[in-house]
Amino acid sequence: MPHSLTTNSPGPPQPEPPRSAEISFPCRTIDVVAFSNGLPAIIAASLSLAASHALGASDSEHWALLAASGTFAVYGFDRLRDTARDRETSPLRTHFVESHARAISIGVGIAALALGAGLVGAPRRVVLLCLAVGAIGLLHRRLKGHATLKSIYVSAAWVAICAGIPGITVADGSGLAWVGVIFFTAISANLAASNLGEDEAGRPRRRPRSVLRLARALAVAGVLVAMAAPPEIRPLGWIPLVEALALVFFRPSEYFGHLAVDGALLAGALTCLLQFALF
């Protein structure tokens, strides 16, 4: 029944808004997909699996677990501790992180445990590589203000985890350089475009055409490298190809950056895995 218009009878008690440190539901599915740490973790796992197939590495699921859990933990930890600065560059994602800080913290803890379990019994070279990349992740807060430097070292870190781990576990690592270059071009193209976002008012922070042209050129270069690579490496060309297609329709928004630009890496890797499975 409708509420009374008189002021004598008190209305029903209003529920308190959820605190930012508590798990608050429901939240939009699109926000969970775009702003949680799940998407980069799945991308890392799919890239690792693609690299393992291309290089003929065994124990590919193990390396994919390391890539996914490490990525989830590092990204989650960074986003939780640097909301003040991230609010200027990614206000929508920062709001999501602040609203679901407890759930994200639990997820980071579980990912860290999975990472530790995955490193038990792993080859020493793999453990050292993970520790080196983890150290870079801890320094990310100090370095990420420099867009060019960020694109280089973050791309290198992704290549090290997704391609380097499978590469150093195979007897013949001759294909690692091909995989590394293809991954680096695709990921650096992704990061260059990701730096072209919006401010809190929805205005482009910066959108120099030269940066977008560079991102597209890097993605196309990755496709060309894949075409020149040995036959077992060529399916990886789907990754920079799908990224290049996403950049054709680039929009400087957080949703497009995460769902389309980042999602293109996942779509390319899954297409690559499908080709490996069918042929």
Q: Report the number of distinct structural domains present in the chain.
A: 1
Q: Which domain holds residue 70?
A: 29-278
* CB proximity list for 268: less than 8 A, separation 6 or greater: 186, 238, 239, 240, 241, 242, 243
On whether residue 17 sits in a domain, the answer given is: no
Helix axes 176-194, 147-159, angle to 10 degrees: 140
On whether residue 8 sits in a domain, the answer given is: no
On whether residue 18 sits in a domain, the answer given is: no
On whether residue 140 sits in a domain, the answer given is: yes
On whether residue 223 sits in a domain, the answer given is: yes
On whether residue 24 sits in a domain, the answer given is: no
pLDDT in tens, the chain (279 residues): 444 434 444 455 544 444 433 334 445 889 999 998 999 999 999 999 999 999 999 999 999 999 999 999 999 998 898 888 788 888 999 999 999 999 999 999 999 999 999 999 899 999 999 999 988 877 776 776 677 788 889 999 999 999 999 999 998 889 999 999 999 999 999 999 987 764 444 445 555 688 899 999 999 999 999 999 999 999 999 999 999 999 999 988 899 999 999 999 999 999 999 999 998
From 276, 177, 158, select the one nearest 226 (Cα to Cα). 177
On whether residue 12 sits in a domain, the answer given is: no
Q: Note the pTM of the prediction, 2 decimals.
A: 0.86
On whether residue 159 sits in a domain, the answer given is: yes
The phi, psi pair for 272, rounded to 5°, reads -60, -45
What pLDDT, in 10s, does the model give residues 137-151? 777 767 766 777 888
